[in-house]
Amino acid sequence: MKHVTSVFWYALAGCLALVAWGALSPETLENSTTKITAGISNIFGWYYLWLVAAIVVFCLYLVFSKFGHIKLGSPDSKPEFSLLSWFAMLFSAGMGIGVVFWSAAEPVTYAFKSAPVADVGTDIAIKDSLKYTFLHWGISAWGIYAIVGLTLAYFKFHKNYPGLISSTLIPLFGEKVMTGIFGKIIDILAVLATVIGVAASLGFGSAQISGGFQYLFHTPDAFWMQLLILAVTTVLFMISAWSGIGKGIKYLSNINMGLALTLFLLLFITGPTLYILNMFTNAFGSYVTDLVEMSFRSAPQNAGSREWINNWTLFYWAFWISWSPFVGSFIARISKGRTVKEFLLGVLLVPSFVCFIFFSIFGASALNVENLGLAKLSDMPIETMTFGMLEQYPLGFVMSLLTIVVIAIFFITSADSATFVLGMFTTNGLSNPAQSVKLSWGLVQAAVAAIVVYFGGTQGLQNTVIISALPFSFIIILMAVSFYKSASEEVAKEDSIEK
């Protein structure tokens, strides 16, 4: 295949090895990786908390710093996409499937199954459920994506470096970093994390679509059903990938945000409107006032609370870090022509607020159902909780169908975005990788998802992605330092010219 580098073949071999392990011995993979992830959480939990908080502070500093005016491109470059299309693609690629998958399940879990602080089922647990959901899906998560995306966009479009993770470290280690072993390992790690992470999400997405069909139409709960869904959506995202980023992902993202908005309004109007507004107001206020405390909460004296933090907060921080090469690279690719300040404000605030609204409408509606005793959502499988909640409100069947469509499109845009990013990573950072490369990675992702779902190795591969977050977290630190060094030198040169 044209322009393919050695990273492609090494990463492909690594993917096949992991899939083989997950297929032949899923229990061994899961047990081994579970022990490693537990050890990482116990030993490095404090480090993750400090790292994510520092990333958010650094992003906010950059917004108001002397670097804010720097354009991610040439001085006369213009944004390739409108603001609305840009926001839609940010959200669709970054968290689309996950938000829908957890929209009802996460608040219900925190309130009625595993509360972060209070006893389950209490008023405090119910109110805290949305606040902690906001923590996990808010600016802390998007700050991780933002710093990786900003660094990649700056060096790709402003400095004309290849669109690779390794190339962002040139100011620190010189141009040899891209051709040396260290740089190759970084780029291979980014590819592996992207393939395995997206494949696992495709598995979850197909499970929720299958769960929705089963709940609504009593279709069989069988592997062939998920495989059929995977096959259909794979064909659709391959068509989207073939059409290019300016058509496929852009149009689908715009359509899906319109459908999601329709779904928001339907549930907001037919659901417990005042309860949603009050819960959103309370949760948002608590999130803003308690953000620092929640961000540094480690519960050193309480084993139960510590376990909750390991299972949820630290899991999310590691997951977002492991996904940052993929999402950061895609965000960088669609952000050419925007200033550093505009980029950071857009990436930090808009998707976070959309997540808050999504979780407030779906989460509060689900909490209301369980709190009033209309249905025991907490006893349902995660993939059917949303449909069980919607059934309790007027137009529930219509909203459930719309939810399946929204999930499917998010499924397609996430996979399409991933094929594009994987193509960049394995063709020395080309902005428009060859169709054959993108389609090859699309088939690999679909095959990984199908094999893992069939053999039940999803959790093991999820753990593998989380494990990859630890070494990549150090890469993020180096990327931030590299950006600061290069941007500082640029601004200093501008100042000297003006004087």
Q: Between 335 and 466, whose confidence is greater?
A: 335
pLDDT at 498 (0 to 100): 67
Tokens read off for 421: 């990013």
Tokens read off for 317: 């921080």
106-164 residue pLDDT tens: 999 999 999 999 999 999 999 999 999 999 999 999 999 999 999 999 999 999 998 89
The values of phi and psi at residue 339, to 5°, are: -80, 165
442-493 residue pLDDT tens: 888 888 777 767 766 566 667 777 788 899 999 999 999 999 999 999 998 8
**What is the distance between the terminal CA atoms of the chain, rounded to a whole angstrom?**
51
Round to whole Å and give the CA distance between 313 and 297: 9
Q: What percent of the chain has pLDDT over 70?
A: 95
Taken in order 140, 110, 96, 11, is the CA torsion positive or negative? Answer: positive
| Cβ partners under 8 Å of residue 333, min gap 6 | 153, 156, 163, 245, 420, 421, 424, 431
Contact between 153 and 336 under an 8 Å Cβ cutoff? The reply is yes
CA 71 to chain centre: 25
Q: Between 96 and 480, whose confidence is greater?
A: 480
pLDDT at 94 (0 to 100): 62
Interaxial angle between packed helices 123-137 and 139-153, expressed in degrees from 0 to 180 and rounded to the nearest 10:
0
Round to whole Å and give the CA distance between 390 and 267: 8
Torsion of Cα atoms, 33 then 35 then 36 then 42, to 10°: 140
Round to whole Å and give the CA distance between 352 and 272: 23
pLDDT at 415 (0 to 100): 78
Per-domain residue ranges of the chain: 6-498
CA 130 to chain centre: 19
How far CA 405 is from CA of 117, 259, 409, in Å, comes to 36, 8, 6
Q: Between 394 and 230, whose confidence is greater?
A: 394
162-214 residue pLDDT tens: 889 999 999 999 988 877 888 898 998 888 888 877 777 777 778 778 888 88
pLDDT at 148 (0 to 100): 96
Indicate whether 431 pLDDT > 80.
no
Averaged pLDDT of the chain: 87
Q: Within 13 Å, how many C-alpha atoms sit on residue 459's CB side?
A: 12
Round to whole Å and give the CA distance between 254 and 240: 14
Indicate whether 245 pLDDT > 70.
no
397-430 residue pLDDT tens: 999 999 998 888 887 877 777 888 888 888 887 8
Could you say which of 1.20.1300, 1.10.10, 1.20.1740, 1.10.860 is the CATH number of the domain covering 6-498? 1.20.1740
pLDDT tier at 270, thresholds 50, 70, 90: very high
Round to whole Å and give the CA distance between 432 and 435: 9
CA 179 to chain centre: 29
pLDDT at 416 (0 to 100): 78
CA 382 to chain centre: 18
Average pLDDT over residues 53-61: 97
Round to whole Å and give the CA distance between 434 and 438: 7
Tokens read off for 93: 């690629």
Contact between 298 and 422 under an 8 Å Cβ cutoff? The reply is no
